[in-house]
Amino acid sequence: MSSDDPLLQPYTLRHLEIRNRVFSSAHEPAYSEDGMPKDRYRDYHVEKARGGVGLTMTAGSAVVAEDSPPAFGNLHAYDDAIVPWIRRLTDGVHEHGAACMIQITHLGRRTSWNHDDWLPVLSASPVREPAHRTTPKIAEDWDIERIIDKYADAAERMQAGGMDGIEIEASGHLFDQFLSPLTNQREDAWGGDDERLMNFPTAVLEAIRERVGAGFIVGVRMAIDEVLPGGIETPRGLQVLGVWERAGLVDFVNVIRGHIETDAALSEVIPIHGMASAPHLDFAGMVRQHTDLTVMHAAKIDDVATARHSIREGKLDLVGMTRAQLADPHIVRKIIEGREDQIRPCVGATYCLDRIYEAGEALCIHNAATSREAEMPHDIEPALAQRRIVIIGAGPAGLEAARVAGERGHDVIVLEAMPWPGGQLNLATRNPRRRDLAGIVDWRVAECARLGVDLRCDMYADAAAVLALEAEVVIVATGGQPRTFETEAGNQRVVTSWDVLGGNATPEGDVLFFDDNGTHSAMSAAEMIARSGASLEIVTPERMFAVEVGGLNHVAYARAFNETDTRITLHQRVRSVRPEAGRLCVEIGSDHSDHRTVRQVDWVVTDTGLDALAELYFELRPSSSNGGAVDYGALMEGRTQSLVRQPEGTFQLFRIGDAVSSRNIHAAVYDALRLVKDL
Ligand SMILES: Cc1cc2nc3c(=O)[nH]c(=O)nc-3n(C[C@H](O)[C@H](O)[C@H](O)COP(=O)(O)O)c2cc1C
Ligand code: SF4
């Protein structure tokens, strides 16, 4: 695209020149340390600035007061100690030409009471928030006065730290918990009618404006319509926005449509794969027709064409591509350099967001460099000397190894036994809802082609075939295979989730699904069975179903199981399966007692995890120089592998991904990047 690309046009937000129309919306990635945006946090945003983003909205919900306990690693905007850290962050981003702002908030009831300082959680009224299971105390007059001041203090700190502006979170947080009649049931000065419902948020904005002056940019990320009966509806949302606009209290609106108090609701605001692209873009465009404020918006605008459309058609002033830049922080740079086809796609897996609620920091499912900028490169350096590298297996691990080795300039051959690349991902994408995951494979295959990698499919590789290629490095990425469930009298109708996903088995009638793994493979197969019309019972020994699947990904499975009357039985495992009168008799029992019950079904499907497929690795080990050994110190410190255990060996041997042990896609690509970037 040439320089008349709508996305590349500069934009002036009051006095601030933003170099193009692409922004990254606020998202707390939980990279903070002690509530401060230290090196990891800074590097993450600086990488996006290097990659060309126009504006990066840092933090997600940096908290303005101690009684807003961080729900997921939020920054402590209430602490003076943050100012120098903010200054380092803004300096780093500005140095690379991007604008930098920060979202601040008081979470109100949208947090948990049992961590950090254990101060009572409060809100306008004691309405429980389902997502955090918190019943807040009613904010008293001294709370309200204190928190209004805290907002202003936090805004002043951000201004002192060199931020170009701030965004107030007004979607599901204290600010709009006062505005929405659903969460504000007060009858005092702070609630009771339309005017008084506005008193707290308006007081916050006035206090901020008074403190930071007219020259500092202040905006709201606002649910213009909560899409909840009795909540804020569009006319009211627009009216409130108009009041703040006319009073000069806000300079931009970042449009949200929906509410976020349950996982199901949140997934409509932040849609995952299998859901419609850009579902609220037209709504945001409608808001733009009703205001002179700068209009921003982000919600699954993950491809450049849709982003470009949103600007060209005048729906937005600035378009958010947030997860898209988690997947590839260099989107804008690639557009400018005419390399749009090299953009690593966001496949909507939402591993990033699910991780902050379940496991810690946000990580992209297929970009292991994101948030590890200090150690893992987004741009791979060429190697000093070219080597021949043979990789066996073209799943995510093998393809990532091949891509990185190709970028290093090596002579790379990939041998894949199947007629096509992809490995286990080809099973995952059999669920139509998860088809977008194919982007993980397609992008790597295209990159490998560009880099001259020799990808040979339909090529079963035994040790002799590998040795004949006279490689200097051999990487085994042969993946895993499903564990089968031992039954008393084997039966063709006792199959694995892989049989179902691969189309080798089509369970019908009464189906019992034993999930002792808790991951997507089980849930995806179960979803397909449920949707096929079979009568399904899922049995798991865990305390919840799909224990390894995060909250937003849970939603689609839960929907499928609810819509199909699927029965979910927790705390039970299958003890035995035997044929009986043409059907299967399944005995199930819990780990907690000796009590047993019996089910008569037509099919049993199991998912009890994977075993590494590593025969080839063990066959090759004796001929290798390192005997397969990895120098973990060198791996962690970014030094090249040089262990020699068998001096007569002719090549270095490594294995990565599920061929080592069953993990996930992120682990597979991280194994590959971490090893191969230094080969
Ligand atoms: C890891 C993660 C954390 C997020 N945290 C916040 C947050 O704290 N505040 C907020 O307003 N939005 C948050 N979001 C939502 C994003 O700002 C954005 O609205 C969402 O990702 C949809 O845009 P996208 O499809 O371009 O990613 C978060 C998103 C992600 C992926
Ligand atoms: S984890 Fe998935 S949704 Fe999140 S950035 Fe990566 S590809 Fe996109």
- The chain-wide mean pLDDT, for the chain, equals 96
| Structure-derived torsion over alpha carbons of residues 428, 343, 657, 677, reported in degrees to the nearest 10 | 180
- Signed CA dihedral, 599, 604, 605, 608: sign only: positive
User: Coil, strand, or helix at residue 319?
Assistant: strand
Separation of CA 441 and ligand 2 centre (Å): 14
Report the distance separating Cα 356 and Cα 363, nearest Å.
9
Give the nearest ligand 2 atom to 349 CA: 2
Q: Which residue has the tokens 């971490």?
A: 674
Cβ of 270 less than 6 Å from ligand 1: yes
DSSP three-state, residue 12: strand
Q: Which ligand neighbours the alpha carbon of 307 most closely?
A: 1
Per-residue burial over 35-73, b = 16 or more CB atoms within 10 Å of its CB, e = otherwise: bbbebbbbbbbbbbbbbbbbbbbbbbbbbbbebbbbbbb
- What tens digit of pLDDT does each residue of 412-431 get? 999 999 999 999 999 999 99
Q: Report which residue type is found at 581.
A: A
Return the pLDDT at 2: 54
DSSP string, 171-210: SSSHHHHTTSTTT----STTSSSHHHHTHHHHHHHHHHHH
What is the sign of the dihedral through the CA atoms of 165, 171, 173 and 179? positive
Residue 443 Cβ inside 6 Å of ligand 2? The answer reads no
The sign of the dihedral angle between the CA atoms of 661, 665, 668, 670 is: negative
**CA nearest to 317, candidates 594, 558, 96, 18:** 18
Distance between CA 639 and CA 651 in Å, rounded? 18
Does the C-beta of 354 come closer than 6 Å to ligand 1?
no
Judge whether 597 and 586 are in contact, CB under 8 Å.
no
Q: Which ligand is nearest to the CA of 219?
A: 1
- Mean pLDDT to the nearest integer, 220-247: 98
Check whether 353 has a pLDDT greater than 60: yes
What's the pLDDT score for residue 193? 97
- CA-nearest residue for atom 29, ligand 1, is 27
- Name the DSSP letter for residue 486: P
* Residue 365 in contact with ligand 2 by CB distance below 6 A: yes
Which protein residue has the closest C-alpha to ligand 1 atom 11? 26
Instruction: For residue 417, give the DSSP letter.
Output: S
Q: Helix 396-407 and helix 665-676: axis angle, to 10°?
A: 30
Ligand 2 contacts CB of residue 254 (under 6 A): no
Q: Is the pLDDT of residue 358 over 80?
A: no
How far is the C-alpha of 374 from the C-alpha of 268, rounded, in Å?
Answer: 34
Mean pLDDT calculated for residue range 28-54: 97
Closest C-alpha to 284, from 219, 223, 236, 340: 223
Q: What is the predicted pLDDT for the residue at 234? A: 98
Ligand 1 centre to CA of 303 (Å) is 16
Residue 495: strand pairing partners: 605
Count of Cβ atoms closer than 10 Å to residue 618 Cβ:
12
Q: Is the CB of 323 under 6 A from ligand 2?
A: yes
Residue 16 has pLDDT above 50, yes or no: yes
CB 392 near ligand 1, within 6 Å: no
Report yes or no: 513 and 561 within 8 Å, Cβ to Cβ: no
**Nearest Cα to Cα of residue 298 among 245, 353, 221, 219:** 221
Task: Single out the residue of 70, 86, 74, 72 nearest to residue 38, CA to CA.
Answer: 86
Q: What is the 3-state secondary structure (H, E, C) of 76-126?
A: ECCCCCHHHHHHHHHHHHHHCCCEEEEEEECCCCCCCCCCCCCCCCEECCC
Pocket test for ligand 1, best of 24, 27, 253, 302 (most atoms within 8 A of CB): 27
- Per-residue confidence band for 1, with pLDDT thresholds at 50, 70 and 90: very low
User: Which of 497, 493, 555, 549 has the alpha carbon at shortest distance from 522?
Assistant: 497
Residue 362 in contact with ligand 1 by CB distance below 6 A: yes
Evaluate: CB of 364 within 6 angstroms of ligand 2: yes
C-alpha 327 chain-centroid distance: 9
Q: Phi first, then psi: what are they for 596, rounded to 5°? A: -125, 145
Give yes or no for residue 334 having a pLDDT over 60: yes
Quick one: which H or E segment has residue 583? strand 583-589
**What's residue 488's pLDDT?**
64
Q: How many CB atoms lie within 10 A of CB 264?
A: 16
Rounded Cα distance between 496 and 513, Å, is 9
Ligand 1 atom with the shortest distance to the CA of 270: 22
Give the pLDDT of residue 37: 98
DSSP secondary structure letter of residue 368: T
Q: Given a cut of 90, is residue 96 above it in pLDDT?
A: yes
Answer whether 298 contacts ligand 1 (Cβ < 6 A). yes
Task: Report residue 338 as tokens.
Answer: 């005419």
Q: Which atom of ligand 2 is nearest to the CA of 367?
A: 6
Tokens, residue 205: 């904005």
For ligand 1, is residue 219 a contact (CB within 6 Å)?
A: no
